[in-house]
Structure 1
Amino acid sequence: MKELQKLIAIKASLNMRFVEREKEIEGMLISLLARQHMLLIGPAGTAKSAMIDELMKSIGGATLFQWQLTKFSTPEELFGPLSLKDLEIGLYKRNTSKKMPEANVAFLDELFKANSAVLNSLLTLMNERLFYNGDQPMKVPLFSVIGASNEYPEEGEGLDALFDRFLLRYEVDYIKEQTNFLAMMKQDEQLKEVPTITLEELHDYQELTEKVIIHNDIYEALVKIRQELSDEGIRPSDRRFKKSLRILQAKALLEQRGVVHTDDLVILENVLWKTHDQKEATSLIVRRHAEDAVIRKLDSIQAEAVELFTIVLQQHCVDAGVEASQKLKALLADLMKLKETHHTREEAIEQLLSKVQLMHEEVLTFLLEPLYFDASAKVREFKQNMSSMNYKL
């Protein structure tokens, strides 16, 4: 999909800027494409607001409303002060200029520290994209609210409805890998310009998201996931399941596909849990269904790699070797991507990765010295090792 290259470039640029934040960056882009809301939970100093700032710099013409909430926050801070001119004629109306009702994206930090009066006033705006200003509902241009908090809301605080509005939820922690931490410390704050899209292009991407196809196998998988979650006492609302379809469509589009695949289901581990103690069980159930597709993907990669390598051995042709090298390199990239997202299958992926890497190296050796490449010996060696290609799942 050539029209998605700008979006992919933005994702790559943000991943380079923020180490160990690939999932959160993907979630932010998906929330924009799907017009849904996202919650980031984690300690201060984990780049939550910085990621939002950089993302918004990449969307020309988009407006961001950003505010840190406290228990003393008032509706005026979010929605604007009352218009004195309108009050004189008996109208209770706010001046919303540069406030949340006029923003495309809102970032609300320390979300759950605000009082219930402020938080409850967000519900209609987030769900219906309407703001009641005076006696008339006002349609707002809001795509997404990105909320951030150092902690989960406590039970009994009356925040269940607001918490449920955030379809995507991510826990953000400090950088774990020492090499990544070192890279962050050495990183130049003045990085290259972030790739950009226009607000109109974002609208186009959102329309493309709505057109992504969902086949019956995805619906059937969701039914099974729902039943397994219910067996564990986890019962996401029907509304949450319905809205998760748009998340799947956005995930597929970000993978540059026009059809949702079963392995896209993995994104729902950030969607279908209700309380923090349900998070692990939800992830296991969702990933089990998503990884059925991973097994099929590994089978497909193995079959294609074997076919490519066999053609080079049989034809002993440089042109075939060049084509095989390019395709094997693409298969290696696919395996690396699978390794990053499917940790429970890491051993199987790593095993196949080493086999395909070896085949790629053999093809490169042939291209460098085709006259001295003993194809018949390689055929015998390859046939002897074929059984080891059946990686353990």
Structure 2
Amino acid sequence: MTHQKLQQIKQALNAKFFDRKEEIDALLTALLARQHILFIGPAGTGKSALSSMLGEIVEGSRYFQHLLTPFSTPEELFGVLSLKDLEQGVYKRNISGMLPEAHFAFIDEIFKANSAILNSLLTLINERIYYNNGVPIRSPLMTIVGSSNEYIEEGEGLEALFDRFLLRYEVEYIKETNTFLAMLKQTTSVPVPKLTMDELTFHQQVCERVEISDSIYETLGKIRQQLMDEGIRPSDRRFKQALPILRAQAYLDGRTEVAKADLAILKHALWEQVEQKDKTAEIIIQIAHDSIESFIERVGPEFEEILLKSQNAMVQKTPDARKELSDLLVQGKTLFLEVQAMTRQQPDRAELRNLKEHMHQRLLHMTSMVIGF
């Protein structure tokens, strides 16, 4: 049940799906946080192939997948009516193997859901309950991935369904030519490690214990106020639902506390209408990140001080030197994880990548020092 397996899954998915790093991080984050995610984009961008990995990653889970059309009926998602019960005037569906019994699901063209499907789908997504002949049935559903080629339009009656998806991502075609060519040349299938249901439950439970400091809560309040100043008013419920996402982001990076850089994922969660998306991202990125320069000015000297202390401990060789070296190594790894998180959010900044590489090499050296002491 080690965290290392999550990293192996993440690496394998990035090798399997080209130019989908952000979407893969989001999918694994949603999985750990038991939240739902929406992918918006044209056909042929790999939305369904990536989403179907939920069913393959977790062994022993039940996975449901379906493509909706304007003519879809409730039977396609929730099962056919039981003829035996219907003869006795009981309107009951046979839900075996259908969406209400799934742990994970992918619903393609989800905005094609009509009124006959919508109410049951909303309750299932939000409350994880399906009403079969008026009897509430608890669903094991953890994460639904919805997909659509386009956003909803005003007046379609789909606003509530759209709101049920905490994370919303636009998926585009591969941008870089070299990456596109690498995708074309890929001939071998990339195996993806698997989790058991027990392992997933363990990771989800550990995620719930990731700490959120008062400074992070205060920053969330600042984000909320600035969004409101721009006329963007995400619900209190949406902010509350975002907390497990922040914890999962930190845990996926190997940390036990949410960092400021983790807040950047909220640019995919806190807007209400499409036209608010860019402004929301601008506000969140501006508030959530220290400037790159001030971040490096803070982290760089802290890390160099750790290196200096470790060298002194090696020279002095006091009885407590090994423990001191181990503690310093933990401190160095914690700083490295901060840099790793910032680099993930700002991948184009060379100075961050250089700092990350420098820290990585020095931490390898420190690790060998501790082992060989």
Q: TM-score range by the shorter chain?
A: 0.7 to 0.9
Contact 1:291–1:342 (Cα < 8 Å) also in 2: no
> Would the alpha carbon gap of residues 301 and 66 (structure 1) be closer, same or farther in structure 2, given more than 3 Å must change?
same
Is 2:111 aligned against 1:112? Answer: yes
* CA–CA distance in structure 1, aligned partners of residues 238 and 6 of structure 2: 26
In the TM superposition, residue 335 of structure 1 has moved relative to its aligned partner by 4.8
Relative to structure 1, the CA distance from residue 5 to residue 293 in structure 2 (aligned partners, 3 Å threshold; closer, same or farther) is farther
Letter in 2 for 1:257: R
- 2:117 partner SS: helix
Query: Is 1:67–1:107's contact at 8 Å kept on the other side of the alignment?
Result: yes
Aligned residue type for 1:159: L
The separation in 2 between residues aligned to 1:28 and 1:237, in whole angstroms, is: 23
Q: Answer yes or no: is 1:275 the counterpart of 2:273.
A: yes
Match of 2:234 in 1: 236
Match of 1:137 in 2: 136
Pairwise CA distance, 1:56: 2.2
2:155 equivalent to 1:156: yes
Counterpart in 2 of 1:186? 185
- More displaced, 113-122 or 222-231? 113-122
Q: How far apart, CA to CA, are the structure 2 residues paired with 1:100 and 1:44?
A: 24
* Larger Cα-atom Rg: 1
- CA change 1:328–1:222 in 2 (3 A) is closer
Deviation at 1:353, TM superposition (A): 6.6
Which among 201, 204, 227 is matched to residue 203 of structure 1? 201
Task: Tell me how far 1:338 sits from its aligned partner.
Answer: 3.0
In structure 2, do the counterparts of structure 1 residues 64 and 313 end up closer, same or farther at CA, with 3 Å as the change threshold?
closer
Give me the whole-angstrom Cα distance separating, in 2, the residues matched to 1:311 and 1:218. Answer: 30
Deviation at 1:150, TM superposition (A): 0.3
Deviation at 1:247, TM superposition (A): 0.9
CA contact (8 A) 1:37 1:146 kept: yes
- Separation in 2 of the partners of 1:333 and 1:30? 17
Could you say if the C-alpha distance between residues 85 and 295 of structure 1 is closer, same or farther in structure 2, counting changes exceeding 3 Å? farther
Aligned to 2:320: none
Residue 18 of structure 1: aligned partner: 17
| 1:29–1:293 CA distance, 2 compared to 1 (3 A) | farther
Which of the residues 297, 300, 303 maps onto 2:301?
303
The CA distance in 1 between the partners of 2:89 and 2:47, in whole Å, is 42
SS across alignment from 1:108: strand
Are 1:68 and 1:111, in contact at CA under 8 Å, matched by a contact in 2? Answer: yes
Provide the identity percentage: 49
2:28 counterpart residue number: 29
Decide whether the 8 Å contact of 1:14 with 1:55 is kept in 2. no
TM-fit CA distance, 1:126: 0.7
Structure 1, gaps ≥5 residues long: 364-393
Decide whether aligned partners of structure 1 residues 158 and 312 sit closer, same or farther in structure 2, where only a CA change above 3 A counts: closer
In 2, Cα distance between the equivalents of 1:350 and 1:45?
A: 32
Residue segments in structure 2 that go unaligned for 5+ positions in a row: 318-325, 366-373
Aligned match of 2:352: 349
CA shift at 1:27, angstroms? Answer: 1.0
1:244 Cα offset (Å): 0.7
Q: Secondary structure at the match of 1:289?
A: helix
State the alpha-carbon separation in 2 of the partners of residues 243 and 55 from structure 1: 21
Asked if 2 retains the 8 angstrom alpha-carbon contact of 1:31 and 1:247, the reply is yes
Distance, in Å, in 2 between the alignment partners of 1:209 and 1:190 is 31
Separation in 2, partners of 1:205, 1:153? 34
- Whether the 8 Å contact between 1:269 and 1:282 is mirrored in structure 2 is yes
**Helix, strand or coil at the partner of 1:303:** helix
Match of 2:49 in 1: 50
Is residue 70–residue 110 contact of structure 1 (8 Å, CA) maintained in 2?
yes
Letter in 2 for 1:55: L
Superimposed CA distance per residue, residues 150-173 of structure 1 (whole angstroms, 9 cap, x where no aligned partner): 000001111111100000000000
Partner Cα separation in structure 1 for residue 247 and residue 57 of structure 2? 22
Measured in 2, the distance between the counterparts of 1:178 and 1:63 equals 37
Question: Shift of the alpha carbon at 1:140?
Answer: 0.5
Give CA deviations for 1:47-70 in whole Å, capped at 9, x if unaligned: 111112233212101111000000
Q: How does 1:377-392 map to 2 (within 5 A)?
A: none
Q: Which residue pairs with 2:247 in the alignment?
A: 249
Equivalent pair of 1:263/1:294 in contact (CA under 8 Å): no
CA deviation after TM superposition for structure 1 residue 306, in Å: 4.0
Q: Per-residue CA shift, 1:295-352, capped at 9, x if unaligned?
A: 66423431145447778999999x9xxx99xx99998897566334126x82653675
CA contact (8 A) 1:108 1:146 kept: yes
How has the CA–CA distance of structure 1 residues 181 and 329 changed in structure 2, closer, same or farther, with 3 Å as cutoff?
farther
Following superposition, the deviation at residue 135 of structure 1 comes to 3.2
Alignment of 1:220-235 (within 5 A): 220-235=218-233
| TM-score of the superposed pair, with normalisation by structure 1 | 0.81
Q: Contact 1:120–1:162 at 8 Å: present in 2 too?
A: no
SS of 1:292's partner is coil
Equivalence map 1:77-96=2 (5 Å): 77-96=76-95
Question: CA distance change for structure 1 residues 187 and 351 in 2, over 3 Å: closer, same or farther?
Answer: closer
2:352 aligned partner, one-letter code = I
